[in-house]
């Protein structure tokens, strides 16, 4: 069986408030992510996608169940 190459990894130490840590843990549970690092990787992917779309002129809209739309502004 061929060996699957793994991406080079680097360690990153973060200093977070307890509140942020709790929010990450809650997201890990809600999304069934394997780890806090996985939550952060997924969040980075979403953030990168949204910024790329914004740079390309797209707008982000959120549609509520009642069909009301709101524009989301990235700062």
pTM of the model: 0.79
Return d(Cα 18, Cα 8) in angstroms, integer.
Answer: 30
> Burial letters for 35-44: b for 16+ Cβ neighbours within 10 Å, e otherwise?
eeeebbeeee
Domain ranges of the chain: 18-72
pLDDT at 4 over 90: no
At residue 1, the pLDDT reads 66
Question: 62 near 70, Cβ under 8 Å?
Answer: yes
pLDDT digits (tens, 9 = 90+) for 9-60: 899 999 999 999 999 999 999 999 999 999 999 999 999 999 999 999 999 9
Nearest to 36 by CA among 20, 49, 59: 20
Q: Are the C-beta atoms of 72 and 62 separated by less than 8 Å? A: yes
């Amino acid at each position: 069986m061929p060996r699957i190459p793994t991406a080079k990894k680097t360690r990153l130490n973060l200093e977070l408030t307890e509140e942020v840590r709790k929010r990450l843990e809650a997201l890990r549970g809600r999304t069934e992510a394997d780890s806090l690092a996985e939550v952060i990787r997924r969040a980075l992917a979403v953030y990168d996608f949204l910024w790329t779309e914004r740079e390309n002129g797209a707008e982000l809209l959120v549609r509520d169940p009642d069909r009301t739309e709101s524009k989301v502004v990235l700062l």
